[in-house]
Structure 1
Amino acid sequence: MRYATREFRPASALVEAADTLAEDFDATRHLQRVSDHCVELLNARAAGVMLIDGGRPVSPAASSRYERLGLDLLETQLGGGPCLESYGSGRPVPPVSIRVAHAAARRPGFTERALRHDIVTTFAVPLRRRDQLLGALNVFVPTPPSRHVATPPGREVAQVLADAAALGLQNRRAYTRCRTLSGQLQQALSGRVRIEQAKGMLAERWGVRADQAFVALRQYARRRRLALDRAAGMVIEGAAADAEVRREIDEGPEGPAWSPGHQGV
């Protein structure tokens, strides 16, 4: 949701940063929108998010404004920079002068590239949800730290945006896990229903016990290296020749499965 009035822009940004349950959700596009909000609210040149998994940077996303600049500065930090520092400490990296850091030989690769893009100041905040760190949000501005709007409360705005984005990503992961588990359970339930249906059909058709029909179905599936529910589906759909399945009964049991009273399930 987007609001037209300036007063609601921060609220709109937070809602969008936390909203990750859409069916067409794309993490890179989502983090780009978070970066766009950061640029807009803080009057920055560019911004970007670096997700970090297992200590290694993955999936950089930069604001649509000066996107190439943002991606370039994020990728330059693979060997070290504000994003990795913020992620490593779990704390914000305050606004620092690129020229001062470059003169002190701090992050030389990153600071040299930033100077080429006329970036004067940068800062970063961790992307976190409670104790879990997911990455960092980096902001790039063309003004010195003393005049930069990202000193508090501006930097706090960036941190709140980053926190909302982390919450949204965690919710998305939980949602995806639930959807996957639900699908697996539904598939297992559907397979069980097919097996029971096929077992009942065979038992009635042949005039045998349900456990005998089940063993025949299972042996049929094993001989043809089919999943049991797939073999059951073939029986229900008539794709499995009745004579071939019945042969498993006529040729006799394998092992104790045919002992009296065995239920086969």
Structure 2
Amino acid sequence: MSQETRELRLAATLVEFADTLIGDFDPALHLSRLADRCVEFLGARGAGVTLLEGSGRPGPVVHSAGQQPSVRELLEWEQESGPVRESLASGKAARAVPLASREAAARWPEFTAAARRFGIASTYAVPLRRHEMLLGALSVYAPHPPSAGGELAIAQTLADATTVGLLNHRAYAQYRKLAGQLREALASRVRIEQAKGMLAERWGTSPDGAFDTLRQYARRNRLPLDQVARAVVHRALTDVQLHPDRSGPG
């Protein structure tokens, strides 16, 4: 891949990660794509995301659907010890470390032994973080020693774009839920006003008096007021049912 093609592909990926304002958005697929793009742009053997649970402990892991079993195993190892665990604890990037080094063997002995067995030469992790909100961390497994080629910065950029996309979708989903609740509240209010008007006209009373009758019936029968109003509008309740002391045409 030429440098120009790589840059264009990276730009398109950042747009892809930001395009999350859709109803059928799949967070797991979104994170799986992040792992795929790390393999594509960083020449990684594999990559995956460890999500942070509410308790603060590492939680579910997400990787590419076509990921090798060795990568899945390494992600599980990192639940206990490894760059991802350190990134989750600090909220910062864990720089690339050669796994043949004494440093790696001392910091993560079990993980390092497993990674070297699978042909991983170095590994690093970056947080999925936006301001003070930490969602998880991205782990990248490379078949070559660390280089000065900016891989860590690219991984962080991809992780940042993914995080923004996730948070934007969450805000969008909350907005849609709130909008739906507001629509239903307005529709409920319209039905109640309609029921009040129908009863007030039929009984020759004030709208407030009709509303008191609706509310009393709802309380006696432990029903939502909107459900009672709906029944009145659709003439599913008679005047006698609503007000036993009243005789009427219902």
Q: Same fold (TM over 0.5)?
A: yes
Which residues in structure 2 correspond to 1:45-124 (within 5 Å)? 45-54=45-54, 55-66=56-67, 68-100=69-101, 104-124=105-125
If the length of structure 1 is used for normalisation, what is the TM-score? 0.83
**Aligned-residue CA RMSD (Å):** 2.2
Residue 176 of structure 2 is aligned to residue 175 of structure 1 = no
Query: Aligned partner of 1:75: which letter?
Result: E
TM-score, normalised relative to structure 2: 0.88
* SS in structure 1 of the partner of residue 237 of structure 2: coil
1:99, CA displacement in angstroms?
Answer: 3.6
Tell me which amino acid in the other structure corresponds to 1:175: Y
The yes-or-no answer on 1:16 pairing with 2:16 is yes
Question: Could you tell me which of 235, 238, 241 is aligned with 2:235?
Answer: 238
- Aligned in 2, Cα 1:100/1:23: closer, same or farther, shift over 3 Å? same
Stretches of structure 1 lacking an aligned partner (at least 5 in a row): 252-265
> What is the letter of the counterpart of residue 212 of structure 2?
V
Identity of aligned residues (%): 51
How far the C-alpha of 1:158 sits from its partner, in A, is: 0.7
Q: 1:165 to 1:67 in 2, by over 3 A?
A: farther
How far apart are the structure 2 equivalents of 1:127 and 1:155? 13
* CA distance in 1 between partners of 2:22 and 2:84 (Å): 28
Correspondence for 1:159 among 156, 175, 179: 156
Which piece of structure 1 moves more, 96-105 or 217-226?
A: 96-105
Residue pair 1:82, 1:123 contacting (<8 A) in 2 also: yes
1:142 counterpart residue number: 143
What's the CA shift for 1:101? 5.6
Find the aligned partners of 1:173 and 1:183 in 2 and give their Cα distance.
Answer: 15
Deviation for aligned residue 1:45 = 0.7
The answer to whether 1:210 aligns with 2:212 is no
**Residues 116 and 238 of structure 1: CA distance in aligned 2, closer, same or farther (over 3 Å):** farther
Gaps of 5+ in 2: none
Deviation at 1:109, TM superposition (A): 3.4
Tell me the SS of whatever aligns to 2:123. Answer: strand
Q: Deviations over 1:132-162 (max 9, x none)?
A: 32211110112223xx5xx441211111111
* Number of equivalenced pairs: 243
